[in-house]
Amino acid sequence: MQIRRVGEDDWALIRDVRLRALSEDPGVFGSSIQREQMFKESHWRMRARTVSTWIAVDATGVGRGIVSMLLEPGSPVDDRHVVGLWVAPEVRRQGIGWRLLDAARTGAVDEDARTLSLWVVDDNHAAGDLYVRAGFARTGERHELQREPARIEERYELTLR
Ligand SMILES: CC(C)(COP(=O)(O)OP(=O)(O)OC[C@H]1O[C@@H](n2cnc3c(N)ncnc32)[C@H](O)[C@@H]1OP(=O)(O)O)[C@@H](O)C(=O)NCCC(=O)NCCS
């Protein structure tokens, strides 16, 4: 499995992996398949231009994992924010999530970021374990999910320098 930094020309690959992530795991992302399947090519191209993205591509060229990194509105300019980490169920527990997260971490270091942050829902133990093992710490900053107020998410942060 190759971890590839993708760009605008890869918009269709990004779309396919992202839509599969939203359909397989609808409860863990701040968006929905109903919303994103309406996106036009121009939306995907714009997202690919404005958000750094890495995809785990298998030997046949199919995307089996994805992660993105961006500057979160309202966050310090030296923070980079991880969003949309997902690995296809058939290839989980093989270290791909770890490698994708590490690609985002390296991307943040290359941009001279001081911290890397992300949000995790309390009941997402797989992701929480992965982040803690990767050195992220809980910040105590917590809020209810907009779409599902019974569920709480917390901001985690990794200090890079
Ligand atoms: C979270 C996710 C990305 C992990 O991907 P993965 O490729 O299976 O993760 P890895 O194989 O790299 O696992 C690395 C470590 O993370 C932890 N981990 C991963 N999955 C876990 C699970 N189901 N339960 C407990 N710990 C888990 C373990 O510490 C694991 O190390 P180990 O396998 O040596 O025990 C994947 O389960 C996923 O896509 N989940 C649905 C989407 C999601 O929740 N995204 C995160 C949103 S915040």
Domain positions in the chain? 2-159
Residue 126 near ligand 1, beta carbon < 6 Å: yes
Mean pLDDT of 115-136: 97
Mean pLDDT of 24-29: 92
Distance CA 22, CA 27 (A): 8
Residue 76 CA to ligand 1 center (angstroms) comes to 28
pLDDT band at 55 (very low <50, low <70, confident <90, very high): very high
Measured from the Cα of 99, ligand 1's closest atom is 12
Q: Are strands 2-6 and 79-87 parallel, antiparallel or unpaired?
A: unpaired
Whole-number percent of the chain with pLDDT over 70 = 100
pLDDT beyond 90 at 65: yes
Residue 30 near ligand 1, beta carbon < 6 Å: no
Residue 87 near ligand 1, beta carbon < 6 Å: yes
Q: Whose CA is nearest to atom 42 of ligand 1?
A: 86
Residue 41 CA to ligand 1 center (angstroms) comes to 30
Residue 143 CA to ligand 1 center (angstroms) comes to 23
Query: Which backbone phi and psi does 84 adopt, to 5 degrees?
Result: 70, 25
CA 30 and chain centroid, separation:
11
**What value does the mean pLDDT of the chain take?**
96
Q: In the sheet where 79-87 sits, what is the strand order?
A: 2-6, 52-57, 63-70, 79-87, 115-121, 152-159, 137-144
Q: Which residues of 7-27 are buried (b: 16+ CB within 10 A; e: fewer)?
A: eeebbebbbebbebbbeeeee
pLDDT beyond 90 at 8: yes
Q: Whose CA is nearest to atom 37 of ligand 1?
A: 126
pLDDT beyond 90 at 111: yes
Contact between 68 and 82 (Cβ < 8 Å): yes
pLDDT beyond 90 at 46: yes
Residue 92 near ligand 1, beta carbon < 6 Å: yes
Q: What is the CATH number of domain 2-159?
A: 3.40.630.30
pLDDT beyond 90 at 30: no
Mean pLDDT of 33-40: 97
